[in-house]
Structure formats: structure tokens, C-alpha cells
Amino acid sequence: MSTSLPRFAGYGLGLRRDHYRDFLETNVSVDFVEVISENFMVEGGQPRHILRQVRERHPVALHGVSMSIGSADGLKPEYLRKLKSLADEIEPLFVSDHLSWSRIDHFNSHDLLPVPYTEEALNIVCANISQAQDILGRALLFENPSSYIAFGDSVMTEWEFLDAMSKRTGCGLLLDVNNIYVSATNHGFDAQAYLRGIPADRVRQIHLAGHTQGEELLIDTHDMPVRDDVWALYAQAIALTGPVATMIERDGNIPPLTDLLDELAIARRIGDNHARTRRAVAA
């Protein structure tokens, strides 16, 4: 299994149903789109047809929510076979999922639940990632989660866990900057220390999204524009990673596509500023 991870430095959006028509009938100014893998892991009908048409116009990243690499009882071969079938057809830029678990035994929560950062969990997660990468025949990306609890059993930080995980398995990272902000606020850790602690050379994609203040905690809702603090953290992140595929992830209160393209333009500006700074330093 190849663990080489292509680099792609562009700006994209998540493809959502409200915008299918825009993407099929107009030239949307994005460098790639990301789709939720499970929405297209179907036997037939319109969803797969739409994805094929979008794929003719744009590079596509597959982003899953159900692999459940943190499951103590392993992965579901049926799920991996369906994902491989989709990936083989779509030839995506990246295939990604989350550092989380959703399923145990015959229960599937359909939520991205947190993993304790223990040696046992690291061994299980790495074994699951290796199995998934073997079956899919490619290196995968895994996203740092937003979380609302911290386990007393944890013996390492999340960034130390991600670093060890990517070194052991060769997987790449999908860095969700909003998730870092949300978790740092909820658990009181230093977001800059997080950025310095992750293996920047393994980051291949960045997510940007909005969050909401809950009663006691920040909630990763993806239903608001990206907040200023998250933009600032994004600028710090790309200073470490260099240019990587960056996208806005919006799942609720979906605005007109033009609003999301305006938000994406902010990411481009930050990326361009960073590139100019790098060139100036190199000159």
C-alpha cells in the first residue's frame, strides 16, 4: 500500500444539496469540492449520477463520517468495500474520515465520539487505519475532532496522539482549524501549542467552519460563518504547513453559494498573503 500523499494547494467548498444546481449548471470558481462519502455510497440513482457530473468539472475529495477508526472491535468490511468502490470510480484527491468512533458491537451512534488518548487506543486506531489503507490501497487523511469531554485516562495530548498515529501508519492529516479552536476553548489547552505539536508535513487538507456558543461549551455546529479567531488560527496554521487544500465546511443554515465563495475568498487572501511573505523572506 502506497503511503505517498499527493499535495494539492487549492481552495474548495463542501458540495451540499442546496448548491447542486449551481455546480452542475455554472462554472463555480473553486479548485476542488469535497463531498460526504456516505451520501454517495449508494447502489444507484441520482446521487451517484450527480457526483459523476460534478467530477467531470472539479477534482473531488471524499470525506467520510462512518469509518469509526476508534472502534475497539474493528472496522466493518462492508463499509470499506463500498467506500473503495466509490473511490475507485471517482478517483478522488483525498479520502478522509475522523479520529473518532461511532460504532461498537451492533450500535452505531452516527456521531463522531471522542477517543481517550491512551496507548491502547493508539494501538487500536493504528491497526484500524492500517486495515482501511490496505483495503482502499491508498493513504488516508484523518481529521482532528471537536470534543466536549476529556478522558481522565488520557496519557498524551491530542496532537501527540495525531503525531504518533500518522508516523506509525503513514496516514495524512486533515486539520480542522475550527475544531482546534473549539476543543482548545472547551478544554483550556493552548491552540498554538497544538499547531506546533502536529506533524505539519503530514497535513494535506484544512477545514474551516463556524461554531456556536452553547450553555457551557463551544459547539461545532457548521451553521455559521467562520469566526475571526478561527481565521487568525488559520493564518498561523498555514505558516506551519505551507499551502494545502483549504475549504469551507457548511452543513446548516446553508446560505447562497455566493456567500460561501466570499468566505472562501478570505481564505485565498490569507493564503496569498502568506505566500508573498514566504517569497519575501526567501528573496
Partner 1 sequence: MNLAEMQRDFQSWLVAASSDAASRLSIGSSAGLNVYQNNYRVQLIDCLEASYPNVRTWLGEESFLAAAVAHIDRHPPHAWTLDAYGDNFDDTLALPYPDNPDVHELARIEFALARAFVAPDGDVLTPEALAHVDWDTARLRLVPSLEILSATTNAADIWSALQQNDALPESEMLAEPAGVIVWRQQFTVYLNTVDLLEYAALLQLQTNGSFAGLCDILVERLGEEEGIAKAGALLMNWISKEWLVAAAA
The β-bridge relationship of strands 60-63 and 95-98 is parallel
Q: Which of residues 228-267 bind partner 1 (CB under 8 A)?
A: none
Instruction: Say how many residues touch partner 1, by CB under 8 A.
Output: 47
Residue 9: closest CA among 283, 279, 267, 277: 267
Determine, following the binding rule CB under 8 A, whether residue 47 of this chain makes contact with partner 1.
yes
Among 15, 28, 71, 172, binds partner 1 (CB under 8 A): 71
Residue 211 CA to residue 19 CA, distance in Å, equals 21
Residue 44 CA to residue 172 CA, distance in Å, equals 31
Residue 273 C-alpha cell reads as 498573503
Residue 157 CA to residue 199 CA, distance in Å, equals 13
How many CA within 13 A on the CB side of residue 9? 10
The residue (of 106 and 279) whose beta carbon lies closer to partner 1 is: 106
Determine, following the binding rule CB under 8 A, whether residue 23 of this chain makes contact with partner 1.
no
The residue (of 107 and 281) whose beta carbon lies closer to partner 1 is: 107
Determine, following the binding rule CB under 8 A, whether residue 43 of this chain makes contact with partner 1.
yes
Among 33, 41, 61, 247, binds partner 1 (CB under 8 A): 41
Determine, following the binding rule CB under 8 A, whether residue 188 of this chain makes contact with partner 1.
no
Phi, psi (deg, nearest 5) at residue 62? -100, 125
Residue 260: closest CA among 244, 245, 249: 249
Among 118, 130, 157, 236, binds partner 1 (CB under 8 A): 118
Determine, following the binding rule CB under 8 A, whether residue 148 of this chain makes contact with partner 1.
yes
Stretch binding partner 1 (CB under 8 A), from 4-12, 130-138, 209-217, 264-272: 209-217
Residues 6+ apart with CB under 8 A from 107: none
Which residues of this protein are in contact with partner 1, per CB under 8 A?
38, 41-47, 49, 66, 70-73, 76, 78-79, 101, 103-111, 113, 115-116, 118, 120-121, 124, 147-153, 186, 214-217, 219
